[in-house]
Amino acid sequence: MNYQFDIELATEYGVDEAVMLHNLIFWLRKNKTGDKNIIDDRAWTYGSAKSYENLFPFWSGRQIARVLRSLVDQGVILAENHNNHKYDRTKWYALQDETLLQLPFYVSVNGTTHNVQPIPDGNTDSNTDSNTYNQEGFDRCWTIYQKKGNKSQAFKYWKKLTDDQREAVEVAIPAYVSSRPEKKFRKDFQGWINPEYKRWEDEVEAAAQVVPDSMKGFMR
């Protein structure tokens, strides 16, 4: 899994802060576009401490808290509590300046940036690029799903999915994994992404009905 960052943001706020900011921007863009978690005309996203540790395994919980606090202190993001229950201390985050949502790059679920114009390589072609994209996306999802099932068969199904379906799978994994924290109760990954059955669509809906917001593992 590769984590990159915007050089200008890293220069202004710090490298760690830039990596975290890219991830927040991804979710805030999706919420803004989908008119979800909009409070006072501003898009918000939230996540448990465990979700951040899963997304950024190279940071400890204290380091993650420090990075988020740094972004707040530098006036880049807002941190508030918009939960329905007082006992739920899950933090919600929003951008102070939502023009950052217009940055000219796409940010993936795990915070990886994809530049619009990558550095050309004379030894690659479009087929190679496509295979690399398929492999990287699959490896990312396989890791987030916590590597349950037959990896080889899962990758065969992954290659049969459309780009939109792969994106939907990646977005759906956190909610499903959070709703079934014990791996033994999850379907094997190859069955969950089988394009014939599209289980990721059914399971996300079911998970949303039984898992309270305070227990959801990943940002929304």
Phi, psi for 166 (deg, rounded to 5): -65, -40
pLDDT of residue 211: 41
Binned at pLDDT 50, 70 and 90, residue 121 comes out as very low
In residues, how long is the chain?
Answer: 220
* Rounded Cα–Cα distance for residues 214 and 63 (Å): 22
- As a whole number, mean pLDDT of residues 135-156 equals 87
3-class DSSP state of 217:
coil
pLDDT of residue 95: 94
- Residue 49: name the closest of 37, 59, 64 by CA: 64
Mean pLDDT, the chain, as a whole number?
A: 77
Domains of the chain in sequence order: 7-114 (1.10.10), 126-215 (no CATH)
pLDDT of residue 131: 55
pLDDT higher than threshold 80 for residue 16: yes
Kindly report, residue by residue over 158-210, the tens digit of the pLDDT.
999 998 888 888 888 888 888 888 888 899 999 999 999 899 888 554 444 44
More confident residue, 47 or 38: 38
Residue 153 identity (one-letter amino acid): Q
**Residue 139: partners with Cβ closer than 8 Å, 6 or more residues away:** 1
Kindly report, residue by residue over 65-93, the tens digit of the pLDDT.
999 999 999 999 999 988 877 777 788 99
Phi, psi for 189 (deg, rounded to 5): -60, -40
* Rounded Cα–Cα distance for residues 177 and 207 (Å): 9
Residue 112 contacts residue 132 (beta carbons within 8 Å): no
Tokens (6 digits) for 27? 């979710």
The alpha carbon of 118 is separated from its chain's Cα centroid by a whole number of angstroms, namely 22
Q: Name the region of 162 (left: φ>0; alpha: ψ -120 to 50; beta: rest).
A: beta
pLDDT of residue 73: 94
